[in-house]
Amino acid sequence: MKRYFITAIGTDSGKSLVSAIFTQALQADYWKPVQAGHPRDTELVRSLVSSPRSAFHPEAYCLGHPLSPHAAAKLDGVEIALSKINLPATSNHLVIEGAGGLLVPLNDQQFVVDLADKFAAEVVLVCNLYLGSINHTLLSLRELSRRLPYSNFTVRGIVFNQGPVPESERIIEQHCPYPCLLRIEKATSVDQTLVAKYAAKLRRVLSNEIED
């Protein structure tokens, strides 16, 4: 079964939307290992997915404040331990949603990207398009490429969100060694219909990789 780790170039980049699209496309299970603040992303993704085969697994850590996980954990009087974050029991494909960007700290030593490494997942980088996003995207891609030789994860590709911004997308793709899996346009509302539309597009891209 496939494991996809959905991360992004920053906070509020559209990870939950992309996670919902992947979950719907693969009829996969969904899991957010570390949640910081409310409302919970698990509930948002659940509301956007119509697949009856998808299960939504509880967080390993559900923290009370919308901060970096290491800071939220400190306020809650706990310390996030990577050793205590274990894959949920499932025989289905699994979509794992990160928190913030790659180098958001979980504790004083470890980062969100270390979750992808632990679970040997295929990383999908969500690149939302705004002034400054080229720099943030290319820095994130360089960090993934730097870690690849000594990590367990692979990089499946990128997803552009909040487009189209043709010139930004062109220059990012020119310097990106990974394929663009999906382009998500700006939308006035996000619902199950929108998710299903993009899930159908994504399923065609991933058709050679997944089994029903």
Q: What are phi and psi of 66, to 5 degrees?
A: -80, 70
Q: Among the options 15, 32, 118, 186, which is catalytic?
A: 32
Q: What share of the chain is helix, strand, coil (3-state, %, to 5)?
A: 35, 25, 40
Contact criterion met (CB below 8 Å) for 59 and 122: no
Q: Known catalytic residue: 118?
A: no
CA 102 to chain centre: 10
Residue 77: HSE in the Cβ half-sphere, 13 Å Cα cutoff:
0
Inter-CA distances, 208 with 96, 140, 197, 204, Å? 21, 27, 19, 8
The H or E element spanning position 20 is helix 15-26
**Could you please report the per-residue DSSP string of 57-91?**
EPPSEEESSSS-HHHHHHHHT----GGG--PPP-S
Q: List, by residue number, the catalytic residues.
A: 32
